């Protein structure tokens, strides 16, 4: 089996590969053709693929080429259909929308397709199989050993005020993530709830800096700069600790592929409020939080206010959210299901 990562920048796909491969290797041997410095062992490249690709696999009749991008499918098809090497080409699709003409053509020539949600499967060939994305529920977990939330190490010099209750937003700062929608909702809600504040984590690329500057200006005009904070791009542990710190995690995206941040929050025992982008309608309901119509800032503000005004309900939602993440969206479940598909394809 070869898993491919033909992208130099670290993306959500990169993070998925980095998390899954070590778990998958507990059951099978996997090489990684990586352009993105994921620092996984078992690296392969042109020389290894070409020298070993024609040899008979140790088990089964075929090798598995697992692609998650169109260029990776194309390479697998070249090895299989042009060079005649014994590969089965597998593609994972997270997009909850029809693929474009080029990608559709490539998908039609794959041997199997994984959809990461029921919503994604609706736009894929009938031979696709649904394997939900998962999160590491051992790492993303509640702090069971303290009655107080952890203060992330990176914030201890300038800590959050833990006398406040925090609403958290996780992910990149940009229009598609609905950062502006959430800021607008916060500007409406926070004046009526003086015990609550909010933070945003995530990278803001240079091209999105004017977008962020405009949001900061709006926040300052409402005298809320000390209660709506942008914490920047943080390490994984700090993000985990912030999930544990906040009482509500909000994801207001206008568009998503799958969207893992609500699941990470849920695994930490934190209720969620999300738009209906990505796979979130499949994951979120009133037992773990709330959904709002994508792009509807009025509904976002209303449901946020309803949630934070009901402390007893928030307390009830957290454990149910944690249980759902563990029972249905654990990373080990995803790894095992993919490995089973590998075995079936290898023949």
H or E element that contains 20: helix 12-24
pTM of structure: 0.87
Q: pLDDT band at 297, cuts 50/70/90?
A: very high
Of 215, 216, 261, 257, residue with least CA distance to 242: 261
* Whether the domain at 2-134+330-346 and the domain at 153-328 fall into the same CATH topology: yes
Q: Is 250 exposed, middle or buried (0-12, 13-18, 19+ CB in 10 A)?
A: buried
Locate 243 and state its tokens: 């999930």
Distance CA 308, CA 86 (A): 56
CATH number, domain 153-328: 3.40.50.2000
- Give the position of tokens 């060079």: 83
**Is residue 232 within 8 Å of residue 200, measured between CB atoms?**
no
Using the predicted structure, report yes or no on whether residue 277 has a pLDDT greater than 70. yes
Residue 97's pLDDT band (boundaries 50, 70, 90)? confident
Spelled out in words, what is the top-level CATH class assigned to the domain 2-134+330-346? Answer: alpha beta
Please give the pLDDT value at position 151: 61
340, 347, 339, 337: which is closest to 62 by C-alpha?
347
- φ/ψ (deg, to 5) at 4: -110, 145
Task: Flag whether pLDDT at 146 surpasses 60.
Answer: no
Locate the domains of the chain by residue range: 2-134+330-346, 153-328
């Amino acid at each position: 089996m070869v898993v491919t990562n033909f992208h130099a920048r670290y993306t959500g796909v990169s993070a998925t590969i980095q998390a899954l491969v070590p778990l998958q290797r507990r059951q099978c041997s996997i090489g990684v053709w990586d352009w993105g410095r994921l620092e996984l062992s078992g690296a392969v490249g042109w020389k290894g693929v070409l020298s070993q690709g024609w040899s008979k696999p140790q088990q089964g009749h075929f090798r598995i080429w697992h692609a998650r991008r169109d260029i990776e499918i194309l390479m697998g098809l070249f090895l299989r259909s042009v060079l005649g090497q014994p590969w089965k080409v597998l593609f994972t699709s997270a997009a909850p929308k029809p693929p474009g003409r080029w990608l559709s053509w490539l998908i039609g020539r794959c041997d199997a397709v994984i959809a990461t949600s029921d919503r994604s499967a609706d736009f894929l060939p009938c031979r696709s199989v649904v394997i939900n994305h998962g999160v590491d529920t051992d790492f993303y977990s509640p702090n069971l050993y303290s009655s107080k939330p952890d203060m992330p190490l990176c914030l201890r010099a300038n800590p959050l005020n833990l006398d406040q209750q925090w609403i958290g937003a996780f992910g990149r700062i940009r229009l598609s993530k609905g950062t502006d929608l959430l800021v607008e909702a916060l500007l409406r809600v926070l004046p009526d709830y003086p015990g609550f504040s909010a933070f945003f984590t995530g990278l803001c690329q240079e091209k999105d800096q004017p977008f962020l500057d405009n949001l900061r200006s709006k926040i300052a005009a409402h005298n809320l700069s000390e209660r709506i904070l942008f914490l920047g791009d943080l390490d994984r542990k700090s993000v985990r600790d912030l999930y544990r710190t906040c009482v509500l995690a909000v994801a207001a995206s206008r568009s998503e592929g799958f969207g893992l941040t609500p699941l990470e929050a849920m695994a930490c025992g934190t209720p969620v409020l999300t738009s209906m982008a990505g796979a979130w309608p499949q994951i979120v309901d009133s037992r773990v939080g709330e959904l709002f119509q994508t792009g509807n800032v009025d509904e976002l503000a209303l449901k946020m206010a309803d949630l934070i005004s009901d402390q007893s309900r928030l307390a009830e939602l957290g454990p149910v959210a944690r249980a759902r993440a563990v029972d249905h969206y654990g990373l080990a479940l995803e790894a095992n299901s993919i490995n089973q598909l590998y075995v079936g394809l290898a023949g």
